[in-house]
Structure 1
Amino acid sequence: MIGIMLNKREAKEMVYLLKKELEELLSDLKDDEIEPMVKTVLEERYHLLFRFFTLLASPAECTRFCRRKQEYQ
């Protein structure tokens, strides 16, 4: 297990960076021109970053980035 210690300012900065990355990934996943293989990799990255985001952000912020099951099937 790996841990990380952040002060409040660093945690806010991390949440900000994760939000921006998640927004970009969501827009890329909606793009129909991206190949399926690339979308699979983007999907894996999204799940990894989202799990990390849930550790730092409030539940209200997390719901903004939740995907519906039909979006990724």
Structure 2
Amino acid sequence: MLGLIIHEKEKLEIQYLLKREMDEILHDLKDSRIDHIVKRAMKERYKILFSLFTRVAPHSECVNYIIPTKIKN
């Protein structure tokens, strides 16, 4: 286990970066031209990013980034 001490401004920057990356992945998951195997890798990456996001963001923000059921399958 690792610990990390950051300022509020740094925490907000981390939240912003994670949100941006997750938004991009969610957008790409809707693209029918992307192969299923690539989408599976994108979903795995999203899970990791979401896990990090839950550690720095309030619950109300995290709820907005739960993967919609349309994209899960």
Q: How much is the aligned-residue C-alpha RMSD, in angstroms?
A: 1.2
State TM-score, norm by structure 1.
Answer: 0.90
Match of 2:57 in 1: 57
CA–CA separation in structure 2 for the residues paired with 1:41 and 1:4: 28
CA–CA separation in structure 1 for the residues paired with 2:6 and 2:66: 24
* Runs (5+) with no aligned partner, structure 2: none
CA–CA separation in structure 2 for the residues paired with 1:47 and 1:12: 20
* Runs (5+) with no aligned partner, structure 1: none
State TM-score, norm by structure 2.
Answer: 0.90
Match of 1:45 in 2: 45
Q: Give the letter aligned to residue 2 of structure 2.
A: I
Q: CA deviation at 1:70?
A: 4.5
- Please list every run of at least 4 consecutive aligned residues from structure 1 whose deviation after the TM superposition is greater than 4 angstroms: none
1:8 matched to 2:15: no
Between the aligned residues of both structures, percent identity stands at 38
